[in-house]
Every structure is written in structure tokens, then in C-alpha cells.
Structure 1
Amino acid sequence: MTTTTSPSAQAASQDPAALSAASFSVVLRDATREEHTAAEERGFITQLMGGELSEADYWRLLAQYLPLYEALEQAIEAAAAEDDLAAAFHDPRFARVAAIRADLAARFGADHEIDAPLPITARYAHRIRTASVPQLLAHHYLRYLGDLSGGQAIGALVARHYQVPREQLTMWDFSDIDAPKRVKDAYRAHLDEITDPAVREEFLAETKLGYELAGELFTALER
């Protein structure tokens, strides 16, 4: 698949001075396009979204998401209490742990034993828990802005292909957010307010790593 990166974003990803001057939300989107595409094109997730797998495979994915979101939500809450940058991005309406647990309980019963984390899931969650603030925000950006965007398509496709009822898809329900586009625009505005080149560079590098970790998780689920 051929991808196109804007000249300004390409220059910014290579030059610290350009990185500090360019719109950071655009840099993040364009400079990580290759990693984003590589993660999305892993066999497991493309087959799952294409209706080629089974309902059970969706639940396997959701079970692996649980420890990732637990790590992310605990880390961002702790960081937001002490760090102004983390506090600017923290929004309790993004939280997904309760929804994931509710979906799994609705499908399998409250006493159902949830799948243990795969080795890649454990490594991914550990990375989130031990991240610096810029690194943590990179994972926050990947997960939550993704959930508010492409994540909505995931919920619709799972319902269509595997007949999962709406009450078992609350992971993808952001009805508490009245205007998702406005929230996403505000999130990108906060990104653009990050002016420190070192913070931007660390954030960008971790975003690339986050896509790689997501791709490794999809590969492990395929195996």
C-alpha cells in the first residue's frame, strides 16, 4: 500500500527544529502513517473486520485489551494528578475498562474467567505503566483518539458480521460524549500546544512504538 506524507510532516519528523514549528497533530498523523497502516493490515484484524473469523475471536481481542486499558487508565489518572500536561489530556469519559468488563460479563456471565494476558499484552501493558508522561500520552492518543474515530467502525462491523448485540458492545459506545468531533478537535488542539521539541520527539517515537506493539498483538492473536 502506498502512503503519502506531507512534506512539512516528513521534514518535521527528521529535523528537531521543524518538529517544534510544525502542527504537531499533523506531524503525528503523517509521520506515523506507515506504522499505522502496518498495524491495521495485520491478518488477524483485517480478517476479523472482514467477517472472516468468528465471534470468539472478537472476544479474544477484547480480553487482551482489558489489561492494556487498565494500565492506561491507572497511569493517566496518576499522572494527571501531578503533571499539567497529562491533566490537559485526561478525560474520564474516555475510560473503557468498565465497559470492557461489562461486555465480557454480558456475554459470558459475571463469574467467567477472562483470558490471561498474552506475553505481548503483558509487555505492552508494562510499557504503558512505566512510561514517561510524553510516552504515556502517546499511548493515550493511539487508544482513545482511535476509539473515537475508527473504533466506531469496529463496533458496527462486529455487530454486522458476528451478530453481537448492542448491549455487548459498550466498549465502542461514547454516548456520554455529545459531540465527538468537537472533543477530537480539542484533543488535537492540545497536541498542537506542545511546543517543547524534546517532548514532541519523545511523543512521536512512542507513537511509532505503540503502533508496532498493537501490530504484534494482532499477530499473536492470529497465531
Structure 2
Amino acid sequence: MGGGLLKPLPRRFFDRPSHEVAPELLGRVLAHGPVAVRLTEVEAYGGPGEDPAAHTYRGKTPRNAVMFGPPGHVYVYFTYGMHYCANLVCLPEGHGSAVLLRAGEVVEGVELARSRRNGPARKPVADRDLARGPARLAVALGLHREHNGLDAVRELSGPAALAVLDGSPPDPALIRSGPRTGISAAKQTPWRFWIDGDPTVSPYKAHVPRRRNTAATSVGEAPSS
């Protein structure tokens, strides 16, 4: 990609608290095979016992085990029975922290990303919306359950390689922060970061409690990371 000018970020980049890593991920490029996305919006999630919105808040489980592994790996989870979302693990092994990848601009493999997002019977998706939202980003990049745990700190090689590349970080004056999207716990923590004015940033949505349906079992809220 980019004539070979972009380089993978080193593991030490991720070996820090997630709220420090998150704003510095903006403008970086996540490449998975032939598709690459320049990140424009992310959210940080803390570790066990410190961030009630994080999947790791109550400790290690089979589902969140990757978050307790080495930094720089990708944590992919399934939510609401419909969507996959991707995170990048932070801090040393055992800490259980990550950054949710919320939105970005598809900069390589646009046609493939379009085919993944449009589908055979769907209305065509505008390019700005190809990776505008965490589930859309995962679809555009072709990330699924089997990619959970892949190492994103590596050289690009092979048709399904995954790497976070240095990219082009924005002017610091354009970086904004605010409450995380759609969560009920720790909802005022300002760990959502985005590039101001970028058209691929997803709209902010506050948490809305789901009403219980007496005719069916309601789906409980899933934390964002």
C-alpha cells in the first residue's frame, strides 16, 4: 500500500494506557489484506475494576481473553447477535485494555469494501459511509470472529495480512474528545476521540435503555469494548 511508504507501528506504541493510545491512532491506517482504512474515530476502554463500560471490567473470560494478551493484537467480538467490532489491545499482557475502532475512510480496496457493504440486494452505500461506525468498519475490512487475536504488529505479507501502519496523523488542533457512544456505564468519560470535520466520523448517540418486550426476551446492552 502507498508504494511501500507506510510502515507498521511498533509494539511499544500499544504498550501504554488505552486513553493515551487512542488519540494517536487517528490518521493511522489499518490494513487487512487488500482493504485499508484510515482511522478517524476511536474509543478507549480501561481495565478490570476501573472502567465499568469495558468488557474486562469483571475480569478475564473466554470471550475477552485476547484483551489480556500482548499489546498490538486485535480483539474482535460479536454484539447484539448481528455485528462484529474490532479493537486494538493496549498495555502489557494481563491488563485487559483496548481501543475500539469506530470509524474511518477506506483508502485502499474501495471496490472490495463496497461489495462487502452493499451486498447483492442492498441499496448502494456512499463512500463516506463504508466504514462509518464500528460494525461497518469491520465489514469493510472483512474482519470476523476467526480474526480475533491476530497480531496487528507485523509486516504486510500475504492476502489476509493485518497491520496498523503509521499513516498521516492529523493536526493536533483537529483532534476532539467527548463521551463514548451508546453506553450506560461511565457514559461521561471523555474517551471518544475523532478528527473534527471529517465526513467519515459517526454521529454521537447517547445510550437509550431498551424496553422489555413481554412477548420476547430483550437483548441486554453490550459494552463497546
The answer to which structure has the higher helix fraction is: 1
Q: What is the TM-score normalised by the length of structure 2?
A: 0.27
The answer to which structure has the higher strand fraction is: 2
Between structure 1 and structure 2, the one with the greater Rg is 1
Q: What is the TM-score normalised by the length of structure 1?
A: 0.28
